[in-house]
Amino acid sequence: MDIILTFKGGKTVQVQAGTLIQDILPYFDVNKDKILAVRVDNEICSLSQALETNAELEPVLTGTTDGASIYRRTLCFVLDVAAHKLFPTSRLLVGHSLGYGYYYTFADRDSISKEDIEKLQHEMECIITADSIINQVKVSYKDAVSILEKQKMPETRRLLDYQAKPIIRLNSLNGFYDIYVAPLLHSTGLLKVFDLMPYENGFLLRFPASFDPDSLPEFQDNKKLFNIYKRYKEWGRRQNVTTAAALNDLVYRRKTKDFINICETFLNKNIADIADKIDQKGGVKVALLAGPSSSGKTTTSKKLAIQLKVLGYNPHVISLDNYYLGREKTPRDANGDYDYECLEALDVQQLNDNLVELFKGKTIQVPSYDFREGKQYFTGETLTMNEKDILIMEGIHGLNDKLTPLVPAENKFKVYLSALTQLNLDDHNRISTSDNRLIRRIVRDSQFRGKSAADTIKMWPSVQRGEKLHIFPFQQNADAVLNTAMDYELAVLKIYASPLLRCVTPCQREYSEASRLLNFLSNFYEIAPTYVPGQSIIREFIGGSEFKY
């Protein structure tokens, strides 16, 4: 049977059903060497996949966000293959991201020698030079269990139990198998740029940035962030919950409520520690909270206020959103849209004048902002600060000293926060911090802003660009780093996110991302939201919070 393929621009080609995507690359109006995968009716597919029905096709190219994701996943898979060949009795563990790289360790070793890292790099280079085909295979559940047990992959094998699928999809290369999570490159020869760099007790698998796929960016270390990740990883190990399978096991054994309480108490303890640091520094007049989208800044500011009250302070929570300029003065981005994420969108002078007056004991009129009208207004609310009064301000630019140039450093305490989950799916598949926050955002946008999952997914790249410009470069300025991830949260968010993601159809460009997130969430058992405490950060996204927002 013949099928009709439609390309960008309206060109159509008739081919036989079952034709492999790699065989139709010459029909695209781009250099086929730059094509890493193809969108088939908005679902991203490997070049080794067969085409069975009429479809609209679009190439996924190098130098794009989707292309970079596929490149990174494939690089990780090749590293797993190399490690299994060289060290078959050791478990390679993927960790967090750091400086355009992923941190790796071995489960049974305190450290990894430089010689072993060099062996891994050499083996990866051999696999890449061979330009071997990466196959997708479907096997029975029973056979998948046998394969994973033979390869000594206990956490991956446990995941199969919770998915409960009769047919399991695996990636295969050089006799090594791993579960299919998302599309990979069809062959290893496309992996031109990478490096293994010794770091702490393990090493970093380094890869190119999406905007420059032909070279490795200069490594920028971040010890503060690394130490926070390390601390939370150790905490996860103490709780015996480091993977999705371990969390699912708690749900299965009805131990969820206790674990939720432990997670919540741990976060509250860390917020209390930050309050103690503020108190110990002395002279702090304003605590500035900043972090990427959906990191829980609003709830954290309220929790920090409670902890400061315990220490005898009188905190006042103010949002930087109140200091936006009128819309007629708001800068525009390259597309001509209002750019509310740049520092210049805020009335920095008004903010600093208010802060200076407050710190002198004077009274100010507290501004508010009407986003619908695009202008600032005043309700008559006033504020005066005495000796034990302290401001808590949350917003994008809190870590940037250009926000508060008139406030001396000794009067400021800056906190960076993000959802830095320590959970992995299994040994080889990490949970992206960005994915965690995107799922939070999808749920919140639906609950409180009437937006669809497709709407949120569509604007997410713009949000990430703003974070890279205005937040991440200033992480090192933080006096403290707070991880707001709840290790149980994805099991709760799944209940809300899955129906929203299923509403995204193959006719929408956002379908590929929605499909990927649905596949990701399928690894988690659901946890009833009734177990989530009223003051939890998760309530900021699902609703039902005891705090007033």
192-225 tens-digit pLDDT = 999 999 999 999 999 999 989 999 999 999 898 9
Residue spans of the domains in the chain: they are: 2-61, 66-223, 225-542
Q: Facing residues of 393 across strands?
A: 288, 318
Given this model, what pLDDT does residue 128 score? 98
Percent of the chain past pLDDT 90, that is, above it, reads: 92
pLDDT digits (tens, 9 = 90+) for 369-387: 998 888 999 999 999 999 9
Domains 2-61 and 66-223 share a fold: no
CB atoms within 10 A of CB 367: 19
Tokens 């994805």 -> residue? 490
Rounded to whole angstroms, the Cα distance separating 179 from 136 reads 10
SS (H, E, C) 345-363: HECHHHHHHHHHHHHCCCE
- 335 pLDDT higher than 90: no
Average pLDDT for residues 119-133, to the nearest whole number? 98
On average, the pLDDT of the chain sits at 95
Please, what is the Cα angle at 503 between 299 and 250, to 5 degrees? 55
pLDDT of residue 164: 79
pLDDT of 336:
85
Whether pLDDT at 340 is above 90: no
Quick one: average pLDDT of 500-519? Answer: 97
SS (H, E, C) 215-232: CCCCCCCCHHHHHHHHHH
- The answer to whether domain 2-61 has CATH 3.40.50.300 is no
Q: Phi and psi of 396, rounded to 5°?
A: -60, -40
| Residue-wise pLDDT tens digits, 236-258 | 999 999 999 999 999 999 999 99
| CA separation for the pair 547, 303 (Å, rounded) | 9
Segment 455-485, tens digit of pLDDT: 999 999 989 999 999 999 999 999 999 999 9
Class of domain 225-542: alpha beta
Per-residue DSSP letter, 366: E
- 40 in Cβ contact with 21 (< 8 Å): yes
Please give the CATH number for the structural domain made up of 66-223. Answer: 3.30.980.10
Give the number of other Cβ atoms within 10 Å of residue 221's Cβ.
Answer: 11
> 10 Å Cβ neighbour count for 66?
18
Q: Is the pLDDT score of 99 beyond 90?
A: no
How is the chain split among helix, strand and coil, in percent rounded to 5?
45, 25, 35
pTM for this entry: 0.94
